[in-house]
């Protein structure tokens, strides 16, 4: 599963849904928007890569994801053919300032590219710290607000998920889309991603509703949401909430108020199949959501489990993808492997969940499958694209 070229803090507990409405985010100064051309490397020698992981924060969940990221990176190294990686780990310690310090230390010790950090504040700080050195950063964050310059995102963005699902809905006759969002910062970013996706598609924004993220807030808002969506003639309702938040209550109350599956197609920005118990919710039967290529993702999980005797954290595949992409670029591009033009080459890479590519603005495009919950099971209704440029992108 190595990558190939030329193929057309509250958040961590909820990261099981990779496209969930949790942003690995903290707001702060954005990285520079120029530079990041990338250093020249000796492709015949092991390539020095700094893995930036959130150890040292005192948070057990940070330690768990850090271990899984490092294990996945080393698994990818073992899968490379003819390319050696000198992987050195650096702790971000739960602090943006420490992340910047660690990034400077890593480059001083010879790192030619940074893989990580996890949180966007730390990623931003690390990227700014090494920008003048011409070193690029492949962050695990999904926060598009920090992307640009020498900072590239590996995390699947809300924009990517929203574009995939809106495109699928429009192609399948669901073009009058109503958006329902909670009033949290993460859900607001998700709402804007959906609205933007609708605006650039053949679909129509039927209307929007927001609600206070609490049991009482959902209960109070549900009748009005249902009434407004029906009055707007919505044939689809796109939710920003996930099953760790308001979605279970929305899926119960909206059908009770006349806005169920027989009235409008439910679409989720988050993974509706996580946790697995959510598959039995009556209100979610027939709903759509996006997910990585199930076959490739399962193969990665099995490979990880065989190597380490445990399941990978849901974000572990990002570290594997980063190392696999670096290895493929070194093999194909030699001394110029880590330049901006190499990292953003259009044919992309094959990762643990399908093809992906880095864009010039620092964001990414990832191939996603569209799935539906049917009879308490997940059924893929539109497979993840195998190449860029066709349906699904």
Confidence of residue 257 (pLDDT cuts 50, 70, 90): very high
Q: What pLDDT shows up at residue 370? A: 98
- The 10s digit of each residue's pLDDT in 326-378 is 999 999 999 999 999 999 999 999 999 999 999 999 999 999 999 999 999 99
Q: What residues form DSSP beta bridges with 258?
A: none
Confidence of residue 247 (pLDDT cuts 50, 70, 90): very high
Query: Does the pLDDT of residue 310 top 60, yes or no?
Result: yes
Q: What is the pTM of this model?
A: 0.89
> In sequence order, what E strands does the chain have?
47-53, 85-91, 113-115, 136-139, 151-153, 176-182, 204-211, 236-239, 265-268, 288-291, 349-351, 354-358, 364-366, 369-374, 377-382
Handedness of CA 279, 284, 285, 290 (dihedral sign): negative
CB distance 84 to 331 below 8 Å: no
CB distance 199 to 205 below 8 Å: yes
Residue 20 CA to residue 155 CA, distance in Å, equals 11
Q: What pLDDT shows up at residue 18? A: 35
Query: What share of the chain has pLDDT > 90, as a percent?
Result: 88
- The 10s digit of each residue's pLDDT in 99-134 is 999 999 999 999 999 999 999 999 999 999 999 999
Q: What pLDDT shows up at residue 174? A: 97
Lookup: tokens for 367: 């191939």
Q: Comparing 258 with 34, which gets the higher pLDDT? A: 258
Read off the DSSP letter of residue 334. Answer: G
CB distance 138 to 73 below 8 Å: no
Query: Does the pLDDT of residue 1 top 70, yes or no?
Result: no
Residue 343 CA to residue 80 CA, distance in Å, equals 17
- The 10s digit of each residue's pLDDT in 174-231 is 999 999 999 999 999 999 999 999 999 999 999 999 999 999 999 999 999 999 999 9
Query: Does the pLDDT of residue 4 top 80, yes or no?
Result: no
Confidence of residue 393 (pLDDT cuts 50, 70, 90): confident
Interacting residues of 367 by C-beta distance below 8 A, sequence separation 6+? 292, 293, 353, 354, 355, 356, 384, 385, 386, 392, 393
Report DSSP letters for 270-284, one per residue.
S-TT-SGGGGG-GGG
Read off the DSSP letter of residue 82. Answer: S
Q: What pLDDT shows up at residue 9? A: 36
Interacting residues of 262 by C-beta distance below 8 A, sequence separation 6+? none
Q: What pLDDT shows up at residue 139? A: 98
Q: What pLDDT shows up at residue 94? A: 80
Determine the average pLDDT of the residues in 69-73: 98
Confidence of residue 23 (pLDDT cuts 50, 70, 90): very low
CB distance 265 to 284 below 8 Å: no
Determine the average pLDDT of the residues in 158-184: 97
- The 10s digit of each residue's pLDDT in 132-156 is 999 999 999 999 999 999 999 999 9
Residue with tokens 């030699």: 334
Query: Does the pLDDT of residue 384 top 80, yes or no?
Result: yes
Q: Comparing 94 with 323, which gets the higher pLDDT? A: 323
Q: What pLDDT shows up at residue 319? A: 98
Lookup: tokens for 181: 């969002």
Determine the average pLDDT of the residues in 42-69: 96
Determine the average pLDDT of the residues in 267-274: 97
Query: Does the pLDDT of residue 25 top 90, yes or no?
Result: no
Read off the DSSP letter of residue 18. Answer: T
Query: Does the pLDDT of residue 96 top 70, yes or no?
Result: yes
User: Which of 174, 69, 163 is CA-nearest to residue 367?
Assistant: 163
CA atoms within 13 A on the CB side of 389: 6
Mean pLDDT value across the chain = 91
Confidence of residue 22 (pLDDT cuts 50, 70, 90): very low
């Amino acid at each position: 599963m190595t990558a190939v070229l030329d193929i057309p803090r509250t958040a961590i507990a909820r990261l099981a849904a990779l496209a969930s409405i949790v942003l690995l985010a903290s707001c702060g100064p954005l990285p520079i928007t120029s530079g990041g051309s990338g250093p020249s490397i000796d492709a015949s020698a092991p390539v020095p890569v700094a893995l930036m992981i959130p150890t040292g924060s005192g948070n057990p969940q940070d330690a768990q994801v850090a271990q899984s990221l490092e294990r996945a990176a080393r698994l990818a190294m073992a899968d490379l053919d003819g390319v050696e990686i000198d992987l050195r780990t650096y702790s971000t310690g739960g602090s943006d300032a420490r992340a910047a310090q660690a990034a400077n230390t890593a480059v001083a010790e010879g790192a030619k590219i940074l893989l990580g950090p996890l949180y966007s504040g730390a990623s931003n700080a690390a990227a700014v710290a090494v920008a003048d050195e011409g070193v690029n950063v492949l962050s695990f964050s999904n926060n598009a607000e920090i992307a640009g310059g020498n900072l590239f995102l590996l995390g699947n963005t809300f924009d990517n998920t929203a574009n995939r699902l809106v495109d699928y809905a429009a192609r399948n006759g669901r073009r009058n889309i109503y958006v329902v969002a909670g009033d949290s910062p993460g859900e607001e970013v998700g709402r804007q991603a959906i609205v933007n996706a609708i605006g650039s598609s053949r679909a129509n924004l039927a209307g929007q509703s927001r609600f206070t993220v609490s049991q009482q807030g959902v209960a109070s808002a549900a009748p009005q949401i249902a009434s407004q969506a029906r009055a707007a003639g919505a044939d689809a309702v796109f939710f920003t909430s996930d099953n760790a938040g308001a979605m279970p209550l929305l899926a119960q109350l909206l059908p009770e108020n006349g806005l169920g599956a027989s009235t409008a197609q439910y679409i989720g920005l988050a993974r509706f199949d996580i946790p697995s118990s959510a598959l039995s919710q009556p209100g979610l039967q027939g709903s759509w959501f996006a997910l990585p290529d199930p076959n490739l993702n399962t193969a990665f999980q099995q490979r990880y489990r065989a190597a380490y005797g445990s399941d990978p954290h849901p974000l572990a595949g990002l570290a594997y993808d980063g190392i696999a992409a670096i290895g493929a670029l070194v093999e194909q591009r030699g001394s110029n492997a880590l330049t901006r033009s190499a990292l953003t080459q259009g044919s992309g890479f094959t990762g643990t969940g399908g093809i992906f590519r880095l864009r010039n603005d620092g964001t990414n495009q990832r191939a996603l499958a569209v799935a539906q919950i049917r009879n308490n099971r997940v059924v893929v209704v539109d497979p993840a694209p195998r190449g860029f440029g066709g349906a699904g992108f």
